[in-house]
Every structure is written in structure tokens, then in C-alpha cells.
């Protein structure tokens, strides 16, 4: 499996975005972000990013384009083509098989609207049988405080998401819920989780507000 999770080090962005910011939508200097993306492409080859909207649209990619498609999951069956998901607390979920790969943006809304299963279904339609999931860095249950209403709405669908903060207030453990969902779908997991909020080498929107985006990248 050819994949990697970037962190915030080793790029050209400065200030709140220091330094390997890959997000073009966070008010960082666009030329600098594109230079950061070019740096990764020089190592990995062409990389397709997406414009993520917390939906469940899956885009099938046959060639890398300058325009990021509006989607929350990318799937390709083209060898050598890399797919990227950008995050700063949401889960970067990468899916691998011999026939296809996918990069999936799983936040709270993505978990609820089934974007992970939608991507798996597209891969299976493309002939993928043995699919493996790789879960990357995201915010942990203790750090992801939410209102009681949001907690109850998500936990009604995904009981494993229930969590509490250190102060005992309602929180959500999205990685725990995703692990159960993948297990129920018969998908083995490579777990590369670490908490974005607790690790200063990673971008965290919940911690910093104005910040950049790291990526999960996978290549067939």
C-alpha cells in the first residue's frame, strides 16, 4: 500500500498556516499553497485534491485536474494516480485494494451521511473485493466537545461515538464510530490515529481556529 499522512512541517507557509498547508480555502497565500502541493507532487507524482463540503458525493478520478472536484470522497482505478483528503480534525480515511483506492473526508456530518460506505460501494462496483482501510490523525473523543443535542443526534445512529471530555461534558469519538462501521462492513483497518488537537505538529481547527490543512494521500 502506497500512502502517507502529512503533518504541518516542511513547507513554505508562514504564520498560522506554518508550514506545509495544503488547503486553498483557508485564506493562506494561494501561490504558497500551490508551491506546497507541488513539493508533494515532486515526491509522489500527480495528486488530485477535492473541494470538500461535508456531503457524501464520491467522484471517480481518471486524470488529475487543476480544478478540485466538489466531493467528499475520491476513487480511482488508475495506477500511479494519487488522491488526497485534506483535514484539520476530521478523519482522513484512505481505502486500498488491488483494483482501486479512495481518499475519504469523514467528519461528523460525513459519518452521519454515510460517505465512507458510499466510497466502499463505488470501489466494490469497480471490482474491488479485498479492501483495507487506513485511519489517519483526527481529533479524539476527549477533545471533541459538542452540545448535548449534537451528541444525541450522532449517537442515535452510531452508539460507539459517545464520549465525554475531561470535564464530563458531551463529546464525540468519531474514530471509534468509524472503526465499528468499517468492522461491520468487513473492512480490516490499519490504524494510524493520533489526536490532532493534542499534537502541535498537526493542524487542528478546534484548537487554533485559523489554521492550515494536512492531508492523507493514497496511490494505486
pLDDT tens column, 186-210: 999 999 999 999 999 999 999 999 9
For 141-188, the pLDDT digits (tens) are 999 999 999 999 999 999 999 999 999 999 999 999 999 999 999 999
pLDDT at residue 203, as a whole number: 98
Q: Give how far Cα 70 sits from Cα of 55, 84, 109, 172, Å.
A: 9, 13, 16, 26
**Cα separation, 207 vs 193, whole angstroms:** 17
Q: What is the mean pLDDT of the chain?
A: 98
Which residues lie below 8 Å from residue 38, measured CB to CB, with a gap of 6+?
none
State the Cα–Cα distance between residues 84 and 129, nearest whole angstrom.
22
Percent pLDDT > 70 in the chain is 100
Yes or no: say if 203 and 18 are a contact pair by the CB < 8 Å rule: no
Q: Any residues with CB less than 8 A from the CB of 183 and at least 6 apart, and which?
A: 189
> Which residues are CB-neighbours of 152 under 8 A, at least 6 positions away?
none
pLDDT at 109: 98
Q: Tell me the torsion sign for CA atoms 157, 161, 163, 169.
A: negative
Q: Which three cell numbers stand for residue 131?
A: 479492501
pLDDT of residue 70: 98
| Per-residue model confidence (pLDDT) at position 205 | 98
Cβ burial of 30 (10 Å; 0-12, 13-18, 19+) is: exposed
pLDDT at res. 162: 98
Give the pLDDT score at 96: 98
98-131 pLDDT tens trace? 999 999 999 999 999 999 999 999 999 999 999 9
Query: How far is the C-alpha of 85 from the C-alpha of 102, rounded, in Å?
Result: 9
Its CATH class, for the domain covering 2-219, is alpha beta
Domains of the chain, residue spans: 2-219
The whole-number pLDDT of residue 87 equals: 98
pLDDT in tens, 6-40: 999 999 999 999 999 999 999 999 999 999 999 99
Report the pLDDT value the prediction gives residue 82, as an integer from 0 to 100.
98
* Contact criterion met (CB below 8 Å) for 95 and 76: no
pLDDT at 55: 97
Query: Cell numbers at residue 104, please?
Result: 475519504
Residue 198's pLDDT is what?
Answer: 98
Amino acid at each position: 500500500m502506497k500512502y502517507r499522512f502529512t503533518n504541518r512541517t516542511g513547507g513554505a507557509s508562514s504564520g498560522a498556516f506554518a508550514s506545509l498547508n495544503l488547503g486553498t480555502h483557508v485564506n493562506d497565500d494561494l501561490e504558497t499553497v500551490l508551491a506546497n502541493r507541488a513539493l508533494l507532487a515532486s515526491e509522489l507524482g500527480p495528486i488530485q485534491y477535492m473541494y470538500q463540503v461535508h456531503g457524501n458525493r464520491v467522484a471517480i478520478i481518471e486524470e488529475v485536474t487543476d480544478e478540485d472536484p466538489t466531493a467528499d470522497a475520491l476513487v480511482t482505478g488508475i495506477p500511479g494516480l494519487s488522491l488526497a483528503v485534506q483535514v484539520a480534525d476530521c478523519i482522513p480515511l484512505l481505502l486500498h485494494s488491488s483494483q482501486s483506492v479512495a481518499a475519504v473526508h469523514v467528519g461528523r456530518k460525513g459519518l452521519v451521511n454515510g460517505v465512507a460506505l458510499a466510497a466502499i460501494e463505488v470501489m466494490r462496483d469497480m471490482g474491488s473485493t479485498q479492501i483495507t482501510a487506513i485511519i489517519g490523525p483526527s481529533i479524539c473523543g476527549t477533545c471533541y466537545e459538542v452540545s448535548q443535542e449534537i451528541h444525541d443526534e450522532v449517537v442515535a445512529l452510531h452508539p460507539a461515538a459517545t464520549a465525554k471530555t475531561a470535564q464530563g461534558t458531551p463529546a464525540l469519538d468519531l474514530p471509534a464510530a468509524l472503526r465499528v462501521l468499517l468492522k461491520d462492513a468487513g473492512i480490516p483497518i490499519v490504524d494510524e490515529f493520533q489526536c490532532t488537537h493534542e499534537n502541535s505538529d498537526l493542524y487542528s481547527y478546534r484548537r487554533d481556529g485559523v489554521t492550515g490543512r494536512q492531508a492523507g494521500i493514497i496511490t494505486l
